[in-house]
Amino acid sequence: MDKKFLIYPSFYSDITITRAQGIYVYSNENKKYSDLSGSAGMCNLGYNNKEINRVIAGQIKKLTVAPQKYRTPEREALVKKILSLFPKKYNAIIPTVTGSETVEVAMQIAVAHTRRSSFLSFDCAYHGRTFAAGSLGEGSCGYGILKSNFDTVKPPLTTSSARNTIAQVEKMFRKKPYAAFVLEGVITNGGYLFPPSEFYRELSVLCRRSGALLICDEVLTGFGRTGRMFSFEHHNIEPDIVCLAKNIAAGHAAMGAIVTYRELAEDYEGYSAFTWPPLGCAIALKSIDMIVAKNLVARSARLGSVALAFLKKHLDNCPMIKSINGVGLGLAIKFNSSRDAQAVYEACLDAGVIIFRKLNINLLVIQPPLIITKEELFNAIKKVIKAIGAVCERK
């Protein structure tokens, strides 16, 4: 790249991707990479998918863009399709564009409904890059401006700590009126952590009792990533608001959705200029159908379980690694230092494997397209293990 023209932030690798197929991307030098990042986890059907391409070609001939506040057959069909994945209590959809916007809209609804302006979340979570959504959790994107309205708790990872955390939340609810607790069913930014279901169920009760809403951010975890269609299903709860994005259109279009019920949806009025184009809706309809027809949710659970066991078997004694966690096809390796994580990331690139690197924490994440075969997954994971071993030997 001509150094006079730069893309910021400056962490982009010096690789130019020119084509892609399935789980593979290819550089302008024709080097083949196994993409275990899934483009930040949103390309659950992989790249250059023939079935998606046929939908795109057909929809281009009919209708690609339409005024935002009007019905189209594609928009109405997508509303029905998404709601069919949820219990009957969910009867309202608010179309959105990005994950950050979706969480932001959920927070606006919570403020309008409760007349409160404070929020609770897990301290290691990430929920977006807008000022409000970016102030949740670790808050690295909120820039401190709104932090007085945002509190956090450490996610419990055992049954005993779950009881202690519930007691802590109960005290916090008594001291401050919160609009909502915002969470994921599986904490992706923390390293695909899986708090006990008892915590989620007790928290749901506490939220109802205190008048706070329970908002589940399924932007990354939704549509099969964790081995359930949505991560909250692991815990047998029904959040007041569910936030969707990323995989809703298999990464082919910027689309999101608020899933809730009418009483809450009526508290919000707004739209974005790029909300739910008919082309994106057509892709989303096909994407959801493919996830269901190909049984990719159960496949994610099955493949992820075997892959997690394989990683732990070969890496549990590695002195560079702090922990290895995962749920479904979301696997995370946490290192003791950011330097080690970066060195492994670069070694994986050299070996032809792209993994997702969390820049501000010592985390490398494996979240490939859900269509990945067992052979493809394990071939790539073996390269990751070899790269970690090579970096460890150099220390």
**For the chain, which domains are there?**
53-293 (3.40.640.10), 295-394 (3.90.1150.10)
CA distance 42 to 65: 22
Phi-psi region of 228 (alpha: psi -120 to 50; beta: other; left: phi over 0): beta
CA distance 325 to 307: 11
Q: How far apart are the first and last CA of the chain?
A: 32
Task: Note the pTM of the prediction, 2 decimals.
Answer: 0.96
Give the pLDDT of the chain (395 residues) as one tens digit per residue.
455 667 776 666 778 899 999 999 999 999 999 999 999 999 999 999 999 999 999 999 999 999 988 999 999 999 999 999 999 999 999 999 999 999 999 999 999 999 999 999 999 999 999 999 999 998 777 666 778 899 999 999 999 999 999 999 999 999 999 999 999 999 999 999 999 999 999 999 999 999 999 999 999 999 999 999 999 999 999 999 999 999 999 999 999 999 999 999 997 888 889 999 999 999 999 999 999 999 999 999 999 999 999 999 999 899 999 999 999 999 999 999 999 999 999 999 999 999 998 766 799 999 999 999 999 999 999 999 999 999 998 87
pLDDT of residue 147: 82
CA distance 331 to 118: 32
Q: Which distant-in-sequence residues (6+ apart) come within 8 Å of 175 by Cβ?
A: none
State how beta strands 353-354 and 330-335 pair: unpaired
State how beta strands 32-35 and 353-354 pair: parallel
Give helix 159-175 / helix 197-210 axis angle, nearest 10°.
10
Structure tokens at 232: 């909250």
**H helices present in the chain, as ranges:** 38-41, 50-60, 73-83, 99-114, 159-175, 197-210, 262-265, 278-293, 296-315, 338-350, 374-394
DSSP letter at 36 equals S
CA distance 112 to 174: 21
Q: Which distant-in-sequence residues (6+ apart) come within 8 Å of 279 by Cβ?
A: 56, 59, 60, 63, 64, 65, 74, 253
